[in-house]
Structure 1
């Protein structure tokens, strides 16, 4: 559904995104995982046309994306990293405004708002001012607003950043529902567990470049399914193994404290870039 060819963004001498290439299939929940400053948000802004690209192509269903093509932009819903709701308006009014801006008829708007508020379990707060909402409630309302005009592609830029653990998991449950409904989603995150829990495939991005791309399971298999952590000369070291048995045999010959655990996407990222994702 979404094809990105040599997508590049430069700010003077700084290259924020460097010849990015990837393809997201219809109905896929795709994650861009990387540390802050890796180019994730810039990529999302270029796809949504909020930021002009320096070079490359963004193609949706064989049509090149152009910021002047209103019909194309209507196919995209975006949830930015920063809260941009109207805090002095109610939840209902925020969704109503979005529907009006996208030319939805009054009857269709009302029905869609009722569906979405029920979906995020905020029907009982529909007439409350957004400024009275918790951070998690605001995030859910932002997702509903992005879904208001029924887009084909949903862009989620760090949707759980700043939320506590309970609110984050509540958000994951909501996003899993979208995944089960077959919506095409591009998620950016620096949370390892978020990418592993939600994404069908993950692209590891660092310094504006795509480092590796595959399913979480296959990415982990590339470094080894289990890791042994141990101290050596005052430093924590890690060795990877395909099976727990191999890891245990290696650990048995070590002196001092050791830990055997399943590998995760952060291990993959560190192995490939010598940097941590963070979060």
Structure 2
């Protein structure tokens, strides 16, 4: 079966998007997703995005990391999908229903309400998630937040100086996080600007992470380090994150289509 795809990215965080809203595709497996994502022998991407029909929303978005694991949410992919869809839509994800709207060469996304309970992250045992009494070498006292997927956020003097490629995988798979975790290291540069690097669960170091930007902004707001709307500077570019009085997070930023192609499904099954 020959399957069309669209290669897209949000601030360099790249995706292979498969549209099964009209024509049903074979079952996506972790091994197929990982094979498609492989940058040497596949198409190459950080995440494989599968669009399917939904009874609860306009359509459903499923997200597979480059290791083949399915995850709950992806902010950058949400913007890319909004651009591809071309109109405002409700999108069902495993992390909850979100609203996307194309805007200014990218999209605005209502990412929903963040959760802070230790059992919502989830953590292996109860603790305060605003300032967690844990640490890994130079990274200490993080905040934790679930924005559709789990994040831990460390505020440091210079996020670029830390060996995140070494500490990220250790923290991601620490027994404290039974479903693993995305690791964010952030430097607050002003009341309206944060600099951020992210080790993404199942994908590694990434040029941009939309949910990471949301989680980091909200964690900084909870600690009263920044205003309720901030710019988050990632290696791939800038996202604007606002946390409204209604408790909902809005993310705005660019997305782009790179190219289109097709592949034989059996070659990656």
Higher helix share: 1
State the TM-score, normalized to the length of structure 1: 0.26
Higher strand share: 2
State the TM-score, normalized to the length of structure 2: 0.27
